Amino acid sequence: MSSSSAIPVVASTARRYPDLRPGEVRCFLHERLPRVAMRGEIDMTTEPQLTNAYRELAQLTPADVVLDLTEVTFFGCVALQLMARLTARLSPTGHKLVIPSPSRPAQRLLELAGFL
């Protein structure tokens, strides 16, 4: 992925989800922008949750989507699949995937994969 197609990273205040458990992926569809929040280790065990998150978002009218990775401690390649699918769906509509303040582990993989 070229730098011109990199996913925008927007600095913002971290949002806290006190009831989000480690290893959990959850959609918040009724916020100003739809948001997918993740906490803890995002690996193969979270693949069903990532798939469900994509299905929920795919039912919405395309809009910018916030991917909240501030509380991720491990960001595996399986999460990149969600990002690639969302980017492929949003790009033709002019919308984007926004990642505010990713954790260091998430940022490292995003950089290595060319998303940042």
**What is the DSSP code (8-state) at residue 43?**
S
Please check the confidence at residue 47 and state whether its pLDDT lies above 90: yes
Q: Where are the alpha helices (DSSP H) in the chain?
A: 47-58, 77-90, 104-112
Q: pLDDT value at position 108?
A: 93
Given a cut of 50, is residue 30 above it in pLDDT?
yes
- List of residues 6+ apart from 47 with CB closer than 8 A: 78
d(CA 33, CA 43): 25
Q: What is the rounded (10 degree) CA torsion for 86, 88, 94, 96? A: 30
Q: Are 33 and 63 in contact (CB under 8 A)?
A: yes
pLDDT at site 7: 59
Q: Which two tokens stand for residue 48?
A: 């069903």
pLDDT tens-digit map of 95-113: 998 998 899 999 999 999 8
Q: How confident is the model at residue 115 (pLDDT cuts 50, 70, 90)?
A: confident
Task: Supply the pTM of this predicted model.
Answer: 0.83
Checking if the pLDDT of 55 tops 60, the result is yes
- Give Cα 31 to chain centroid, integer Å: 15
